[in-house]
Structure 1
């Protein structure tokens, strides 16, 4: 019992710093996801220098809504909501549906993160284990949405590349290098920080529960 009381005293000292760290992680997760959604380095296509005389302007980088190709920005080139589905094959329609899901899920996760930060602030100030646990679960749901959106984008990109290879043949892509950009990396960082925020809030809730139950145990 004495050892338990000593541990509880230590928990009281660290509760404030724990929720502060959780708050910082939550803010960073929101900032990283917002930066990711607002930038156009999700997918990068580069041409091999061997063919620069013919294809120097075909290198491109793309975001969720825009494509920068040859120094020009094309804003409506991947607008899946305004696309005429009757002009596309079944595979292309499936990819358009995936893109529509991506551009809904990821911004929704960003909005939910904003409300999650407010809930986290209220629950930490109220020092309520129930509110802290609920907020932790809320951040886990946000992380699941972010993970779903990012995973869908990766699948969508690979399917788009496979469809392009089917149309132009392997030779047509022999001098093309494709890679995911740092915008996608920022989304992954946001996902990790969302999980960390939820875990820290969950630990804080358990700390408070032990503190509230200690007088009865004593």
Structure 2
């Protein structure tokens, strides 16, 4: 089956819509990090489960603002470390929303470059999506480091009866990252096909 220019750009467009939807859903939900206290006691699960998002924590249906205090028990002992944690969190909440905004503009650029069949515009748009994917990658990676450092602050002795895991919100961010890479690759291939189409008349 021969892959056409139209098939490539349509596939890239669908991937773009999915990537935007995944990242937007990821940013708007509170299942980035899950903390379950006393997992063996089912009667306490509803009251002791924490579902963390980038900006808020869901505990028993009540929402709380995320800060480094959510992970530490003694704010005096960890003042310098807490500042580092806050800086990491600030980087996360800047990179990922910025990547979402760039995805929106990238979709517009992708539509224009596809309609124009311009190799230069298609290549530029592909590079643009690679930059978007880099922001998403950095944001998701920093969040993982941020979470592990938060566990270190709490201490292993305090986590003996606690089960922690990354949630599906983070998984959606990784899916968005993979789709952004795929979009960039598809647009690069489309750019090469458009370039070949422009070169054919000159070869005749």
Fold in common (TM above 0.5): yes
Computed over aligned residues only, the root mean square deviation of the Cα atoms, in angstroms, reads 2.0
What secondary structure, in the 3-state scheme, does the structure 2 residue paired with 1:45 have? Answer: strand
The alpha-carbon deviation at position 29 of structure 1 amounts to 0.5
Which residues in structure 2 correspond to 1:92-131 (within 5 Å)?
92-131=82-121
What secondary structure, in the 3-state scheme, does the structure 2 residue paired with 1:40 have? Answer: coil
Distance 1:49 1:200 in 2: 45
* 1:23 match: 13
CA contact (8 A) 1:66 1:77 kept: yes
Gaps in structure 2 of 5+ consecutive residues = 70-74
Q: Normalised by the size of structure 2, how large is the TM-score?
A: 0.90
What secondary structure, in the 3-state scheme, does the structure 2 residue paired with 1:64 have? Answer: coil
Distance 2:181 2:51 in 1: 29
* 1:207 match: 193
Write out per-residue CA displacement over residues 60-80 of structure 1, whole angstroms, 9 at most, x where no aligned residue: 111000001133111x34289
Number of equivalenced pairs: 197
Write out per-residue CA displacement over residues 159-193 of structure 1, whole angstroms, 9 at most, x where no aligned residue: 0011111xxxx332111000000000000000000
The alpha-carbon deviation at position 51 of structure 1 amounts to 5.1
Which aligned runs of 4 or more in structure 1 are off by greater than 3 angstroms?
Answer: 49-56
Highest CA radius of gyration, 1 or 2? 1
Alpha carbons of structure 1 residues 69 and 208: separation in structure 2 relative to 1, 3 Å: same
Gaps in structure 1 of 5+ consecutive residues = 1-9, 81-85
